[in-house]
Amino acid sequence: MNEQQQTLWQFMAQQSDKLLTQTLQHIGLTFISLIIAVLIGLPLGIFIARRKTFSGPVLGVAGVLQTIPSIALLGFMIPLLGIGPKPAIVALLLYALLPIIRNTYTGITGVDSSVKEAAVAMGMNKWQLLFKVELPLAMPVILAGIRTATVINVGVATLASYIAAGGLGEFIFGGISLNNTNMILAGAIPAAMLAILFDFALSLLQRLNLKKLKVAAKVLPVVVVLMACFYFIPSAYGSKLTAGFTPEFMGRQDGNLGLRSKYGLNIHTIVISDAVMYKAAFEKELDVISGYSTDGRLKAYDLVVLDDDKKIFPPYYAAPIVREDALQRFPQLEPTLNLLAGKINDSVMTDLNYRTDYLHQSPERVAKDFLVAHHLLKPARGGNAGIVRIGSKIFGEQYILASMYSMLIKGYTDYDVATKTGLGGTKICFDAMTNNQIDLYPEYTGTGLLAILQPSQQQIDAVTGDKEKTYNYVKDEFEKRYRIKWLQPIGFNNAYALMMRRKQAAQLGVKTISNLKQYLETK
Amino acid sequence: MIKVEHLSKSFADTKAVNNISFEVAEGQNLILLGTSGCGKTTTLKMINRLIEPDHGSVFIDGKNIIEQQPEILRRGIGYVLQNNGLFPHYTVAENIAVVARLLKWEEKQIQHRVSELLEKLHLDKKYLTAYPNELSGGQQQRVGLARALVTDPAVLLMDEPFGALDNITRSKIQAEFKALDELKRKTIIMVTHDVQEAFELGDRICLMDKGKIVQNGTPAELLFKPANNFVKDFLKEQRLQLEFKAIKVKDIISPPPSADGGTFELNGDILPGDASLWYMLERLKFSKAESISVRNAHHKEVGKLDFEDLMSAFYQYKKQQAHE
């Protein structure tokens, strides 16, 4: 059955074991970080309620942490804590801190001063005052803070999948990369429901009267700890090597699914964002990763590509794809874009990527150097005969290509250029195109075939063996279905590939994916 | 019982309490009277160390309070606050029992004591499990009083205990307060700005102004032998009523009821031997009986008083004061 015709319900039923695992991981991540945040935030809130001079700095720092974009915060964590649950939990707890500290502080300072005076006058010491009077009276406010923190955490925990910590983000980001709405919803709906459910449960708790609150205060920690334990349930498996695959790779026929069905490869797999995957492999946190064959980090981190001896990875030849109405509006566009056709082969692209990814040269500079070296650069004409909108996905290679096209258009035509780079994934980029937000972006034949067109398995098998067939098929289909034109291929093939550290691959004698499978099966 | 020596306390640059000394005898009820900002509440709070003095010392039962751990000291002193300061998350029973629990009384003893106090303060048993916000202002103040009394402390400090109540509730609770036998044995220091209340409840009144004691004496002394014009002015309003309240009937009639437990009787009710003239006139005015009978300690009638006798005794007394 074709994936697109599948209903959401069918998808969820089919993936129910994964869905359960991810949901449990999600709950676990949320609550582990919540427990730690409470263990840190509550005493800190109490402390600053007692020593008011510290309240400014403490709340300030917690507030600043809150404003760091979550992806950036996760990024900061990797050099410190590596990948996996540790950095995810730390990042989540940092987000949960502010509401907990602030509400503890507000709650305690908000207790009626005559009640506090009465408590002291009755002969309570400062601990009795805290536990018998201040904390119980501040409890509704503190619970409100914990409630806010919980809901924030459920949301932010979706990003944990970027650094191999699991959770419902695996479906959400996998779905975005794969243009699979069902997959996105299968992650997003449970995540939203978790947020609503926890919010509702905690709101009930907040409204409990004082007497029941005493009971709840004893039951709640037990429940939270139980929830936190969910995270550890799914992780009871092991294997010799650890693979880190992107969410996209996990769900693709020409990815993990194919590895399992065609090679029978069974490897302990964690889901990770490609931004950190190469580094994690280099640092021996991962042994096998799903990279792109032209990625610059391949060179930077001394990784080798395993030979795809059973040909499950279809060709991914890059070519600009353009809206047909744009080609009509900008007649000079097509010849200009084709200036790059056939100019960049695999090793050139890898080198260009190496310069941006590893040497941290700007994509504009790398693009310009390349055009200069190939005598393609012309000074910008400063034309104003219309604006061509160029998109790109969110990785270096696409930035470089977008820069090259931008310079070519400015130099060879009278059009001006607007670039919308860094669109989150195939789905976002392609949707921007069909919704007439961008006119062109560089796409790959394999992606066009498998992620966008999603034809039957028979059709896939028929066209993926040969790069010309694949190109012609997607070209025809895109024209028919979307009125989008594939221009001439740029030359390189940025296919999926399994990679290992060169040294480890040599030690284990693994050269092909079949070798890898054999190694894993020997005991 | 309580001895305050050269007590001073400054907040920033203002001297809230400026070198004051006084004594309260056992079983006596001393009122710290004055306008707001005169230092009366600060003085009170220095006695249970809610505020630590800059100079001077306080002795309770001969012991310097600075030598005791503040929590232990406070558990031995009853404290009643103006806004009752009840714990909103505790039931009435739990509120009353707080100090007993801090002192680790047995549960049975606590229960017994709580219901005893409830009865004495005319609170229905059904309120035991109620929360403070379910009670009226007057009931809350009674619970506040019960909480201060639970361990039967010898010393009771009260910070404007009836200040937040409406007039009708206040006079009702004041009357109950006076009648409460538990309080008769206690040494009480009460802060108020209400002159009428001071004269109603105080054995002695300590009038304060700007952190200093202006005059410390019995109500009658303040009225009839004012130390200066400030005292005179302070007591100017409703002076007649104050005089009636300050004068005790036993001091102005002859023969007086015998000092060792003589009483008065009106219409079958026993009235206390040290009742004020105001109290007696009021009772007589609203009673069907014509006269009050004066009894000695053996409950034998030694005389009779009607409204006119009381009034003429009052004028006699006033004349006498003026000549002295």
Task: Give the CATH number of the domain where residue B100 resides.
Answer: 3.40.50.300
Q: Which tokens hold the place of A327?
A: 């080609």
Residues B14 and B78 occupy one common structural domain: yes
CA–CA separation, B66 vs B63, rounded Å? Answer: 9
Domain that holds residue B112: 2-237
Residues B22 and B165 occupy one common structural domain: yes
Residues B123 and B268 occupy one common structural domain: no
Task: Tell me, yes or no, whether B167 lies in a domain.
Answer: yes
**Domain boundaries in chain A?**
3-235, 242-313+498-521, 318-494
For residue A256, name the pLDDT band (cuts at 50, 70, 90).
confident
- Residue A427 burial class via C-beta count within 10 angstroms: exposed 0-12, middle 13-18, buried 19 and up: buried
Q: B82 to chain A: nearest residue by CA?
A: A114
Q: A213 to chain B: nearest residue by CA?
A: B89
Task: Tell me, yes or no, whether B90 lies in a domain.
Answer: yes
Chain B residues with CB under 8 Å of A120 CB are: 50, 74
Selected residues 94-113 of chain B with any CB under 8 Å from a CB in chain A: 98-99, 102
The list of chain B residues with pLDDT below 70 reads: 255-261, 323-324
Task: Tell me, yes or no, whether B135 lies in a domain.
Answer: yes
**How do residues A44-100 score in pLDDT, each as one tens digit?**
999 999 888 888 898 888 888 888 887 778 777 777 777 778 888 888 888 889 899
Going by C-alpha positions, the residue among B130, B98, B102 that lies closest to residue B114 is B98
Superfamily of domain A3-235: MetI-like (1.10.3720.10)
Chain B residues with CB under 8 Å of A137 CB are: 87-89
Predicted TM-score (pTM) of the model is 0.71
To test the contact with chain A by mutation, choose from B87, B133, B156 the residue with the greatest count of A C-beta atoms within 10 A, namely B87
CB pair distance less than 8 Å for B102 and A115: no
A137 part of contact set with chain B, CB < 8 Å = yes
- At residue A400, the pLDDT reads 92
Q: Which tokens hold the place of B297?
A: 């300690």
Fold adopted by A318-494: Dipeptide-binding Protein; domain 3 (3.10.105)
Could you say which of B237, B256, B277 is where a domain stops?
Answer: B237
Chain A residues with CB under 8 Å of B98 CB are: 122
Secondary-structure percent of chain A, ordered helix, strand, coil, rounded to 5: 65, 10, 25
CA–CA separation, A253 vs A259, rounded Å? Answer: 8
**How do residues A289-327 score in pLDDT, each as one tens digit?**
988 888 888 888 888 888 888 878 888 899 999 999 999
Task: Tell me, yes or no, whether B21 lies in a domain.
Answer: yes
Going by C-alpha positions, the residue among B105, B108, B13 that lies closest to residue B54 is B13
Across the range A1-12, mean pLDDT stands at 66
- At residue A168, the pLDDT reads 87
Residues B224 and B251 occupy one common structural domain: no
Chain B residues with CB under 8 Å of A114 CB are: 81-85
Residues B261 and B212 occupy one common structural domain: no
CB pair distance less than 8 Å for A137 and B81: no
Phi, psi of A414 (to 5 degrees): -100, 15
- Partnered with residue A484 across adjacent β-strands are A323
Average pLDDT for chain A: 85
For residue A234, name the pLDDT band (cuts at 50, 70, 90).
very low
Helix, strand, or coil here: B192? strand
Give the CA distances from residue A508 to residues A286, A500, A505, A519, B122, in Å, rounded to whole numbers and listed in that order. 15, 11, 5, 8, 90
Residues B223 and B301 occupy one common structural domain: no
Residues B319 and B213 occupy one common structural domain: no
Residue A236: is its pLDDT beyond 50?
A: no
DSSP-derived letter for residue A131 is: I
- Partnered with residue A388 across adjacent β-strands are A417
B155 in Cβ contact with B30 (< 8 Å): no
Out of B82, B84, B99, whose CB is closest to A123? B99
Selected residues 103-122 of chain A with any CB under 8 Å from a CB in chain B: 112, 114-115, 117-122
Residues B230 and B271 occupy one common structural domain: no
A419 in Cβ contact with A367 (< 8 Å): no
CB pair distance less than 8 Å for A137 and B89: yes
A61 in Cβ contact with A5 (< 8 Å): no
Going by C-alpha positions, the residue among A355, A297, A343, A285 that lies closest to residue A319 is A343
Residues B134 and B34 occupy one common structural domain: yes
Please tell me the distance in Å from A116's CA to the nearest CA on chain B: 8
Task: Tell me, yes or no, whether B204 lies in a domain.
Answer: yes
Residues B56 and B147 occupy one common structural domain: yes
Number of independent structural domains in chain B:
2
Could you say which of B203, B237, B271 is where a domain stops?
Answer: B237
Please tell me the distance in Å from A119's CA to the nearest CA on chain B: 8
The least confident of A20-34, A500-514, B275-289 is B275-289
Please tell me the distance in Å from B83's CA to the nearest CA on chain A: 7
Chain B residues with CB under 8 Å of A128 CB are: 102
Q: Tokens 């900008």: give the residue.
A: A330
Residues B214 and B255 occupy one common structural domain: no
Chain A residues with CB under 8 Å of B82 CB are: 114
Residue length of chain A: 523
Residues B100 and B77 occupy one common structural domain: yes
CB pair distance less than 8 Å for B48 and A121: yes
Out of A118, A123, A137, whose CB is closest to B75? A123
Q: Which helix (H) or strand (E) holds B293?
A: strand B291-295
Q: B77 to chain A: nearest residue by CA?
A: A122
Residue A237: is its pLDDT beyond 50?
A: no
A124 part of contact set with chain B, CB < 8 Å = yes
Task: Tell me, yes or no, whether B242 lies in a domain.
Answer: no
Out of A115, A117, A123, whose CB is closest to B88? A115
Fold adopted by A242-313+498-521: D-Maltodextrin-Binding Protein; domain 2 (3.40.190)
For residue A232, name the pLDDT band (cuts at 50, 70, 90).
low
Could you say which of B179, B213, B237 is where a domain stops?
Answer: B237
